[in-house]
Amino acid sequence: MKFTESTIPGAYRVDPEPIEDERGHFARMWCRDELRERGLVGELAQASVSYNNRRGTIRGMHMQAPPSAEAKLIACTKGSIYDVIVDLRPDEPTFLRWEAFTITAGNRRMVYVPEGVAHGFQTLEPNTEVQYHISAPYDPERSLGFRHDDAAFDIAWPYEVTSISERDQNHPNFSLERLEKQLEYTA
């Protein structure tokens, strides 16, 4: 696995290093030891998948607060996505900064999202499937959501939104006070 640092501390673009032969190729998607060598969370508690019918579908922006904070490794196994992370760690110099990655089934690229960083994506084509390797089980009491179109982030999504859950659409606008309250409540 080849790790390329993001502009957001602790976040990485991860490229599998396939071993090819006449059958095709084989590559690791998760390696506890390689993650730990970089000081990243190497435990895997859950793997999830989302299937998205339409181009323009948005899922996010999501994260979990401590003590259920989660790191994620995101891969697109069918189709393509515009994958976005937002740093919501107030003590980081990149607080409120976002970065995007194009992840496709063809490029096999992944994104490592550290704890305290929100994640979301928009599908770039119909019938897109996304896999999530997650370090902590889902905990609804500590689940946090932020609007994908919040002016505090000013994310430049590539397409008009064609599908979004009611829950994601109705998240309140970001405020530091709200974030701090949620983090205090969940601690």
138 is catalytic: no
| Residue among 12, 25, 82, 132 flagged as catalytic | 132
| Residue among 12, 62, 133, 148 flagged as catalytic | 62
Q: Is 32 helix (H, G, I), strand (E, B) or coil?
A: helix
67-71-77 Cα angle (round to 5): 145
Q: Which residues contact 12 (CB under 8 A, 6 or more apart)?
A: 3, 4, 5, 6, 38, 40, 111, 112
Preceding omega of 67 cis (within 30 degrees of 0): yes
12 is catalytic: no
Q: Which residues contact 163 (CB under 8 A, 6 or more apart)?
A: 52, 53, 54, 56, 57, 58
Catalytic residues, which ones? Answer: 62, 132
